[in-house]
A and B are shown apart, each in its own frame.
Chain A
């Protein structure tokens, strides 16, 4: 098999999730790569790497329960677009950001539709909560429901 990683070892487990903004049960499914997902009709969880095209998943959103988006280095921002593309297409399941995630990415990630965070190195709780709460308002539309300033001005 091309995919040497055993499926139970692949991706993060519920224990790795440090912040979560959902009320449902934490999804606990073995993730597979996008390539394997497209071949396996029973997979419900997938992990997106920066080079993957999230649009490949759009025909299968119904059966997806967990999408994990990996950020091997935080400076590679492709995962932000992947997340928004999924949310724009109506994906409502868990969207988990994993990997090299720092305090200062949290607000941006959240706006792009991530609702679970499994940072490689656990983040300072207080600093993280401050970061999530920092921006009272935003200037532009994204994947969250926040109404941007240019709209609020013309209520």
Chain B
């Protein structure tokens, strides 16, 4: 794992001081709320329906146990004993007092954490593959590149007042576990003629106008990575729309200019910037890399699993992922208990996950963009003991990538922009399918819910998506089918007219019935949808 040196620590400490000073000026009335807003946002502090929400950055989703313990303590000390893991691998607290926020940030800084640029119109926390460094299918660990970009983007003087927020994801496998093409910049580390470089996808995003990022450069040499990113941002800062925030994301610029013209301008700026020497030395990348080196894996470990306990066997089948080292797997802790709030973890649960990561996973855990927690390096021989302890704490749900593994935004329960509640819909759906015992039968099925068109719950990218809309003051839900945020990225389509709360849960059941009825050998819901199209689903839903 990356460790701060004295420079990194000083930067974060200085930020805490700066924010303390900003808060003081706000409380003294020297800053109006309007002036303070973008400042607090750049520190991850939102004003929500009931209180302030604070978003803490978890760079590329990687945590050690001391950090997880600290997150648990913060939930206890400043919140109501809960934290909420987010779709960008961060954690949010929903009940923060402004006066206490500087102390909270100081507590974070003690464990090399911060809330820098987790919100606001700046370059946000950089996300990555939650199986980085572990997955058997990856080219190389993408996190050193993400760390390089984290540093470059932190307090970037030119790009702190962009037209709109800016999200970057970095992966290094063909399989996309980070929704890379739905980011403002998606970077895939690739190999060409034995040389490592980066493919740049620019202009993706969700929100009200979802777009899949086109590839604008297939290969940027590693010693020009930061320079290329800088060129992409400068063209965006210059031309991104500022007349309406709904059209201010880079996806709109790339769309309006056309990918070709945008690329031409980036290349022009890139040529210019290459002469300016803005690239960090390659030695810096070499310095970062060893922090992400493999831990000391044991060899000669057993690879057999005693499957005599069927509950355990089921959990192993759904919640573990192959590891590159023999005798190990990655174990995924589901934060989606049936009827629970997706992504929530209590103080006790966070403490437990921290302990387990220390005991069983070389002190490391990861946050996934699906709002679960990964213990990346678990010995197969330890799985049963691990599962037993997880299960006792309500963390053993065997439902990864199933219809119970729902992504849901905070919705009307917390969010001032919401049209409808998301959480109760997620709860009802997981309860309904769990009760019917249908979850396992349905297999991989990614269901995602947003409480409004801003799409925080990724509904555009769900195999099944649900979107809360406001229909004459009544909560109403649209159903979407066929999205994907994996390497076969696709945007879901609306089935037709919306449903009320009970109706949407029934509608989900109806479309899964069609799938079960029509699926062919080995097909997931998404595959069947792609083969048979929207019509059969529509017919079942609306009888048309």
> Which A residues are closer than 8 A to B by beta carbons?
50, 53, 74-78, 80-81, 84, 88, 102-105, 107-112, 124, 127, 130, 134-142, 148-154
Query: CB distance A77 to B237 under 8 Å?
Result: yes
- CB-based closest 10 A-B pairs: A77-B161, A111-B157, A150-B280, A150-B284, A108-B157, A141-B278, A154-B283, A80-B158, A149-B7, A139-B151
Can you offer 9 A-B residue contacts whose CB atoms are under 8 A?
A77-B237, A109-B157, A111-B157, A127-B25, A135-B11, A137-B10, A139-B152, A139-B154, A152-B7
Query: CB distance B276 to A88 under 8 Å?
Result: yes
Across-interface contacts of A102 in B (CB, < 8 A): 31, 35
What is the minimal beta-carbon distance from A32 to any residue of chain B, in angstroms?
22
Interface positions, chain B 1-56, Cβ under 8 Å from A, are: 5, 7-8, 10-11, 14, 17-18, 21-22, 25, 30-31, 35, 38-39
Query: Is B332 an interface position by the 8 A CB rule?
Result: no
Query: CB distance A53 to B238 under 8 Å?
Result: yes
Across-interface contacts of B284 in A (CB, < 8 A): 150-151, 153-154
The complex places the Cα of A134 from the Cα of B234 at a distance, in Å, of 25
Mask, B154-179, CB within 8 Å of A = 1, is 11111111100000000000000000
Q: Residue of A at shortest CB range from B284? A: A150
Q: Residue of B at shortest CB range from A51? A: B242
Q: Residue of B at shortest CB range from A124? A: B30
Across-interface contacts of B208 in A (CB, < 8 A): none
The complex places the Cα of A111 from the Cα of B14 at a distance, in Å, of 17
Query: CB distance B283 to A141 under 8 Å?
Result: no
Query: Is B473 an interface position by the 8 A CB rule?
Result: no
Q: Residue of B at shortest CB range from A113? A: B157
Query: CB distance A77 to B152 under 8 Å?
Result: no
The complex places the Cα of A103 from the Cα of B25 at a distance, in Å, of 10
Which of A76, A77, A81, A138 lies in contact with B155, CB distance below 8 A?
A: A138
Across-interface contacts of B151 in A (CB, < 8 A): 139-140, 149-150
The complex places the Cα of A78 from the Cα of B238 at a distance, in Å, of 6
What is the minimal beta-carbon distance from A85 to any residue of chain B, in angstroms?
8
Across-interface contacts of B5 in A (CB, < 8 A): 153
Interface positions, chain B 122-168, Cβ under 8 Å from A, are: 148, 151-152, 154-162
Q: In the complex where A140-B152, A154-B287 touch, is A75 in contact with B280 (Cβ < 8 A)?
A: no
The complex places the Cα of A109 from the Cα of B156 at a distance, in Å, of 11
Query: CB distance B276 to A141 under 8 Å?
Result: yes
The complex places the Cα of A141 from the Cα of B159 at a distance, in Å, of 12
Which of B8, B14, B238, B276 lies in contact with A134, CB distance below 8 A?
A: B14
Chain B binding site: helix, strand, loop or mixed by DSSP? helix
Which of B21, B161, B280 lies in contact with A130, CB distance below 8 A?
A: B21
Interface positions, chain B 75-89, Cβ under 8 Å from A, are: none
Q: In the complex where A81-B238, A150-B280, A153-B284 touch, is A137 in contact with B161 (Cβ < 8 A)?
A: no
Query: CB distance A140 to B156 under 8 Å?
Result: yes
Query: Is B121 an interface position by the 8 A CB rule?
Result: yes
Query: CB distance B158 to A134 under 8 Å?
Result: no
What is the minimal beta-carbon distance from A55 to any residue of chain B, in angstroms?
9
Query: Is B277 an interface position by the 8 A CB rule?
Result: yes
Across-interface contacts of B543 in A (CB, < 8 A): none
Interface positions, chain B 417-434, Cβ under 8 Å from A, are: none
Which of B31, B121, B158, B283 lies in contact with A81, CB distance below 8 A?
A: B158
Query: CB distance B287 to A84 under 8 Å?
Result: no
Interface positions, chain B 253-300, Cβ under 8 Å from A, are: 272, 276-278, 280-281, 283-284, 287
Q: State which size class the interface on B falls in.
A: 35 or more
A sample of 13 more A-B contacts (CB under 8 A), given A142-B157, A153-B283, is A50-B242, A80-B158, A103-B25, A109-B157, A111-B157, A127-B30, A137-B10, A141-B278, A149-B7, A149-B8, A149-B151, A151-B281, A153-B284
Query: CB distance A78 to B237 under 8 Å?
Result: yes
Across-interface contacts of A134 in B (CB, < 8 A): 14, 17-18
Across-interface contacts of A77 in B (CB, < 8 A): 121, 158-162, 237
Across-interface contacts of B14 in A (CB, < 8 A): 134-136
Q: In the complex where A77-B161, A149-B7, A154-B287 touch, is A139 in contact with B155 (Cβ < 8 A)?
A: yes
Across-interface contacts of B159 in A (CB, < 8 A): 77, 80
What is the minimal beta-carbon distance from A103 to any residue of chain B, in angstroms?
7
The complex places the Cα of A76 from the Cα of B159 at a distance, in Å, of 11
What is the minimal beta-carbon distance from A142 to any residue of chain B, in angstroms?
5
The complex places the Cα of A61 from the Cα of B18 at a distance, in Å, of 36
Query: CB distance B237 to A80 under 8 Å?
Result: yes
Query: CB distance B234 to A112 under 8 Å?
Result: no
Q: Residue of A at shortest CB range from B283? A: A154
Q: Residue of B at shortest CB range from A130? A: B21
Which of A75, A103, A148, A153 lies in contact with B121, CB distance below 8 A?
A: A75
Across-interface contacts of B277 in A (CB, < 8 A): 141
Across-interface contacts of B18 in A (CB, < 8 A): 104, 134
Mask, B51-75, CB within 8 Å of A = 1, is 0000000000000000000000000
The complex places the Cα of A112 from the Cα of B272 at a distance, in Å, of 17
What is the minimal beta-carbon distance from B77 to any residue of chain A, in angstroms?
27
Query: CB distance B152 to A81 under 8 Å?
Result: no
Query: CB distance B287 to A137 under 8 Å?
Result: no
What is the minimal beta-carbon distance from A105 to any residue of chain B, in angstroms?
8
Across-interface contacts of A78 in B (CB, < 8 A): 237-238, 242
Which of A75, A136, A149 lies in contact with B38, CB distance below 8 A?
A: A75
What is the minimal beta-carbon distance from A145 to any residue of chain B, in angstroms?
12
Query: CB distance A135 to B155 under 8 Å?
Result: yes
Q: Residue of A at shortest CB range from B238? A: A81
Query: CB distance A84 to B158 under 8 Å?
Result: yes
Query: CB distance B39 to A104 under 8 Å?
Result: yes
Query: CB distance B157 to A74 under 8 Å?
Result: no
The complex places the Cα of A104 from the Cα of B161 at a distance, in Å, of 12
The complex places the Cα of A108 from the Cα of B38 at a distance, in Å, of 14
Which of B8, B31, B242, B280 lies in contact with A148, CB distance below 8 A?
A: B280
Query: CB distance A108 to B238 under 8 Å?
Result: no
The complex places the Cα of A151 from the Cα of B281 at a distance, in Å, of 7
What is the minimal beta-carbon distance from A99 to any residue of chain B, in angstroms?
13
The complex places the Cα of A153 from the Cα of B5 at a distance, in Å, of 10
Across-interface contacts of B242 in A (CB, < 8 A): 50, 76, 78
Query: CB distance B276 to A81 under 8 Å?
Result: no
Across-interface contacts of A149 in B (CB, < 8 A): 7-8, 11, 151
The complex places the Cα of A135 from the Cα of B15 at a distance, in Å, of 9
The complex places the Cα of A109 from the Cα of B17 at a distance, in Å, of 20
The complex places the Cα of A112 from the Cα of B234 at a distance, in Å, of 13
